Structure formats: C-alpha cells, structure tokens
Amino acid sequence: MKKILVFPAILILTALSSFGQTREDITVHIPQVMGRLDFAGFFQENFAMETTAAGYIVVDNPNGADYTLKLETKPNLILYDDGTYEEVGPDSYYVDEETGEIVREKQFLLQINLVRNEDNNEIVAFTFPFSNLEEMYDFNLYLLYEAMANVPLTKLGSVAAADERWRNKWLYLRTSFDFPITFYVLKEPEFLTHRRENEDPQVQGLDHRISPWVAATIGVELHYHYRVSTELNFNLSFSDPMTSTFMPSILIEQKFPIKPSTHFMIEPYAALAFPMSTSPNVNSFPRVGLGGGVQAGVKGGSMGAFFLDVNFIYFLGNVVMKNADNYYTIPNQITYKRYSLGLGIGYKIGFMDRPMPKPKEQP
C-alpha cells in the first residue's frame, strides 16, 4: 500500500532575506495554542518572544491587534490508498523514491494561520512537521518570518504620515528664550583725549565691547511649501548694556526646511533684522541687519517641535555713540560696527495639516 504524508513542502529560505523591514507599529495577538497541552506552553512562549524580537508588538487583547497568529499542534498522519490512515509512530520511516535513503518520519505537525483582524481574512496558512520540541528552537523564527512575510505595509505608511504631521503644518506659533551676544567692534577713534591749554594731552585707550544679555522671542511661521517657509518674529531684548536701552526688534526669516527623518528637522534660513529703538546716548544707529542662521528641531508631540536656534546678524551702517566721558572729552562721538550672535531654545506649535508630498515615482 502506498502511503502519503500529510504536510506540504517547506517554503524556500529566501523569504528570510526579503523580510528586512522593521514593523514595530504592527500589533499581533497570539491566542492559546491548540492541540497537545505539553506542546502548548512551549510554542506560546517561543512565538511570543520571536514575534517581539522581529519588531512587532504582541498584545493580549485580540480587539486591539492588527493580526492574529493561530498555532495548533496535531499528529502527523499516514494516508493509505483505501482511505484509511494512522498516526506516525516514533519508529515510522519511509524510503525516498529518488535517493533510496531511509527517512524517519516526523510525528507531529505545527499548523500556522495568520488572520487579518479588520476583515477576518486568513492571509497565510501552512504546516510544519517536527518530532520533538528541541529541534523547533532552530525553526520558530523562520516560521514566523514565513507567516509574516506578506503582511502589507499600509499601516506603516499611515503611521509614517502621522509622524510627519508635527513638521508639516500650515502655521506655527513660536516662543523661545534667547541669549544674544552683541559685538561692538571699534571703528574710530582708538582713544579719547583730555586737553588743556599749556598742558600735554592725556590719552585713554578704547577697545571693542561685547554685550551679552537675555531676551525672548515670539513669532509666527507660515509653512506654505514642504521645503520653504517664512517666519516673522518679534524679539524682546530686555536691555543692551552698551547703549543702555530696551532694544526690541523685528526679524524676518526665509527658511528652507530639511527633513532627514520623522523625528528631526533642520531649517537653515536667511534673515533680515529691524531694530525698533535707539538710545539717547546714540547719535546714529543702523536700522537694518542682514544675516542667517539655522534652527534644529526634534519632534515634540504630534503638533510641534522643541528647537535650538543659532543665528548671526550683521548690521548695515555704524553705531555712532556720544562720548559721555566728562574728562576725556575729545572727540565728542565714537563709532562702532555692530554684530549679533543669537542663541535660543524654544518650542513651536503647529496648526492645520498640510497635504503630504507625493512620493517620487521610481524610473
């Protein structure tokens, strides 16, 4: 009598190399393993561990799972031509018709079924033969890959789109704490002079000045293109020690966002600065500054980002200050060039999602 073993051929191992993606957003439920009780605990524990190691999230509740991985152990059967069958015994074997070799038959089958929960559609079903649990340590991860190899990536796409929303809004409101460092580079003269009739003049040397202070910025950013945005800021510099005055200013930044990952964004920008006040100690003060900077942000929730801002502004024109020294009175004014190095840390929150750009078609 001709005997036929009831199990399909093992799928080729190339599926392992094709399963090279991280799918940590996919949830999988593994219900209680059916069949022999002495096998159930082993497969339950091992498949849960391998599923987690493969990058999935294993959940206990089937209602919160994307897929259900069903496992069942059952005896392997030998079917005879007359329709009868018997279970494979520990000493059962058959002769390979091609090679003539004696092959010991596997006693048990592991049935694996993968079900997509949203429509209860069974997308994978196959069996794998084995004789003892020890040999399955070498195959459990492979069997999991075989079961999950055809899981579609649609959910990954939607999650990636959700991750993108924080940096793809139409409008952002920005606030930051800043520490601007203002440089007054001496242009002329290099010294002050005290002169009296019939006396040699007395001279006091001058030097460049650096004025660090604290400031804050509030602003609004219009993100009208995935790669281009414009930000209008109002900067409150609480004092400028050099000119002894409250120094607010308006900044316009033309930004060019670069988005290398879903959790990080870097925005180089060109900037215009417009100081809004001067000091009574100043005869002339530049009204426009040119410069640029970079804003590096990390995801801060689904609506915004924490950022670090660094910029440099060169002011057009000279700062001409009155000579307030009552002793060294010559000349009556001092001229500087003004530069500013801005450092800031803050948060911006976005409103109204922009449509995501379409992926480029592959040639």
Coarse DSSP helix, strand, coil percentages of the chain, rounded to the nearest 5 percent: 15, 50, 35
Structure confidence by residue, pLDDT tens digits, 148-178? 887 755 454 444 555 677 888 899 999 999 9
Q: How confident is the model at residue 199 (pLDDT cuts 50, 70, 90)?
A: low
Phi, psi of 84, deg, nearest 5: -85, 165
- Cis, peptide link before residue 280, omega less than 30° from 0: no
pLDDT at 99: 74
Whether pLDDT at 13 is above 50: no
Identify the pLDDT of residue 238: 76
Provide the pLDDT for residue 114: 93
Question: What is the mean pLDDT of the segment spanning 179-198?
Answer: 78
- Identify residue 243 by its one-letter amino acid code: T
Give pLDDT, residue 305: 92
Of these ranges, 159-168, 267-276, 300-309, the one predicted with the greatest mean pLDDT is 267-276
Return the minimum-mean-pLDDT range out of 1-15, 89-103, 261-275.
1-15
186-207 in b/e burial notation, b at 16+ Cβ within 10 A? Answer: beeeeebeeeeeeeeeeeeeee
Model confidence at 82, pLDDT cuts 50, 70, 90, reads confident
pLDDT value at residue 193: 67
Domains recognised in the chain with CATH numbers:
3-152 (3.40.50), 163-353 (2.40.160.20)
Angle ∠(292,295,299) on CA atoms, nearest 5: 165
**CA 115, CA 126: separation in Å to the nearest integer?**
12
Nearest to 146 by CA among 274, 213, 54, 225: 54
The DSSP secondary-structure symbol of 138 reads T
User: Which band of pLDDT confidence, cut at 50, 70 and 90, is reported for residue 298?
Assistant: very high
Contact 29, 67 (CB under 8 A): yes
* Residue closest to 214 by CA, chosen among 251, 182, 174: 182
Q: What is the pTM of this model?
A: 0.54
H-only helix segments in 138-191: 140-148, 154-164
Q: Choose among 108, 81, 104, 102: nearest CA to 92.
A: 104
Q: State residue 21's pLDDT score.
A: 41
Percent of the chain with pLDDT over 90: 37
- Which helix (DSSP H) or strand (DSSP E) does residue 44 occupy? helix 37-53
Burial group, residue 280, by CB count within 10 angstroms (0-12, 13-18, 19+) = exposed
Please report the DSSP string for 292-347 in residue order. EEEEEEEE-SSSEEEEEEEEEEEEES-EEEE---SSS-BSSEEEEEEEEEEEEEEE
Residues near 68 by Cβ (< 8 Å), separated by ≥ 6? 28, 29, 30, 31, 62, 114, 115, 117
Query: In whole angstroms, what is the distance from residue 104 CA to residue 127 CA?
Result: 18
Is the peptide bond between 75 and the residue preceding it cis, with omega within 30 degrees of 0?
Answer: no
Q: pLDDT at residue 236 above 60?
A: yes
Lowest-confidence region among 166-170, 179-183, 195-199, 281-285: 195-199
Residues 88-128: tens digit of each pLDDT: 777 676 666 677 677 778 889 999 999 988 888 888 899 99
Task: Kindly tell me if the per-residue pLDDT of 289 is higher than 90.
Answer: yes
Of 13 and 339, more confident? 339
What pLDDT shows up at residue 195?
A: 66
Q: What is the pLDDT of residues 36-80, one digit of tens each?
A: 898 999 999 999 999 888 888 899 888 878 899 999 999 988 777
Kindly tell me the sign of the dihedral angle through the C-alpha atoms of 305, 309, 313, 319.
Answer: positive
pLDDT of residue 157: 47
Whole-angstrom Cα distance, residue 242 to residue 264? 38
Looking at every residue in the chain, the average pLDDT score rounds to 81
DSSP classification of residue 54: T
